[in-house]
Structure 1
Amino acid sequence: MTTVFPTLLDRFAATLRGAELPPENPHHRAILDALLEVQRLDQQLTGSIPAHGRPDGTGERLEQLTGALAERLAAGRELAALLSSHWCCCTEEEIAEDDEEEILSCPDEHPPTSGVVQDALRVFADLGYPDALASADLVAALRRLPGTAGDRGRYADLTQARLAQLLAPYEISTRDVMVPDGRRRKSYRRAALAGCR
């Protein structure tokens, strides 16, 4: 669930002030989106539990509740990872160079990082920042990129299994996510990718 910010009211207020709204930080956006997803899933779970507190007993209904609960727990884990990060928009090189235990503020600008995580995030950006992308769709978009995926292999030759291997060191894996057509598909969440930058 992607929120629209700035809203029409925010843009109008900035126009009246004669100022431009600053660009948003992708990591901060990921935190907000992850929180909204947790809240949405909480509402979905609360609305799907019968009033008497016991499921209706059908296997299909129990499977739906179990799937929804698993999705909610995964979203909560992603939110916790984003919130527990000691840094929000610095590159790994900047973190390594920093003398402090933690980076307490974001620099105004930093060089773009590269790699499969950043390239995947660019795909999300190109597609309008969806909350999740099916693994097959993400791989199809990445295959159109020039260069290599990770330390070996061209993006043009990327497979879903290879992408899973490349993202495994970052503890990023697919989750069963309901897509707009109503099907559940193995998908990557944007919040999980943004959380490891």
Structure 2
Amino acid sequence: MFPTLLDRFAATLRGAELPPEDPHHRAILDTFLEVQRLGRQLTGSSPAHGRLDGTGERLIQLAERLAAGRELAVLLSSHWCCRTEEEIAEDDAEDFLSCPDEHPPTSGVVQDVLRVFADFGDPDALASADLVAALRRLPGTADDRGRYAGLTQARLAQLLSPYEISTRDVTLPDGRRRKSYRRAALADCR
């Protein structure tokens, strides 16, 4: 992860500080790294995962990789954070919320996920796809890294990974077996 210890050491030797990160650029880097990780996992070259046995698992991983690739393409094609407020207003882009200075973050991704759980009646688990679909309807941004409207399952996994929250295969009350988040794991993070 940049900046590495070596980069910080070099800056100290030069007597300078590293400039602050731009959240949009960090999102690009994080998403690129996620695309690479998912690609290695899909091709079986990821040392942590090895080869996949099930076709269903492979299709899920392919979908996650494609979603992450789409998210990266959107981030790379975005030019809004490099424009002035006047230029954005001229283009009538009030719906575009990726510039973190323009729109304050919501109360936090964990709290927003718990709010979605509450909207669903506080089930024990929610399918990742259902959770992302509900979060995409929320206004604002997810931890200064992009708007909820553009959220993907891969991006949600990235946002929740620092809290050691990940999906589990769960059979839901409607009989579907899906990658899901458990409410108990989220409640422990408050």
**TM-score scaled by length of structure 2:** 0.54
Structure 2 unpaired stretches of 5+ = 46-51, 92-98, 117-130, 140-146, 169-178, 182-190
Number of aligned residue pairs: give it.
132
**Equivalent residue number for residue 62 of structure 2:** 69
Matched ranges for 1:17-166 at <5 A: 17-47=14-44, 61-90=54-83, 94-96=87-89, 112-114=101-103, 118-120=104-106, 123=108, 137-139=110-112, 163-166=135-138
**Equivalent residue number for residue 150 of structure 2:** 172
SS at match of 2:180: strand
The percentage of counterpart residues that share the same residue type is 58
Task: Give 2:31's aligned amino acid.
Answer: A
What is the distance in 2 between the residues matched to 1:138 and 1:74?
Answer: 24
RMSD (Å), alpha carbons: 4.0
SS at match of 2:150: coil
**Equivalent residue number for residue 185 of structure 1:** 180
Change in CA separation of 1:41 and 1:165 when aligned onto 2, cut-off 3 Å: same
What is the distance in 2 between the residues matched to 1:175 and 1:82?
Answer: 16
Give, in angstroms, the shift of residue 20 of structure 1.
0.6
What is the distance in 1 between the residues matched to 2:79 and 2:100?
Answer: 19
Question: Does the 8 Å contact 1:25/1:89 carry over to 2?
Answer: no
What is the distance in 2 between the residues matched to 1:171 and 1:111?
Answer: 14
Question: Does the 8 Å contact 1:27/1:88 carry over to 2?
Answer: yes
Structure 1 unpaired stretches of 5+ = 49-54, 99-109, 124-132, 144-158, 187-197
**TM-score scaled by length of structure 1:** 0.52
Change in CA separation of 1:47 and 1:14 when aligned onto 2, cut-off 3 Å: same
Task: Give 2:61's aligned amino acid.
Answer: A
Give, in angstroms, the shift of residue 46 of structure 1.
0.5
Change in CA separation of 1:161 and 1:97 when aligned onto 2, cut-off 3 Å: closer
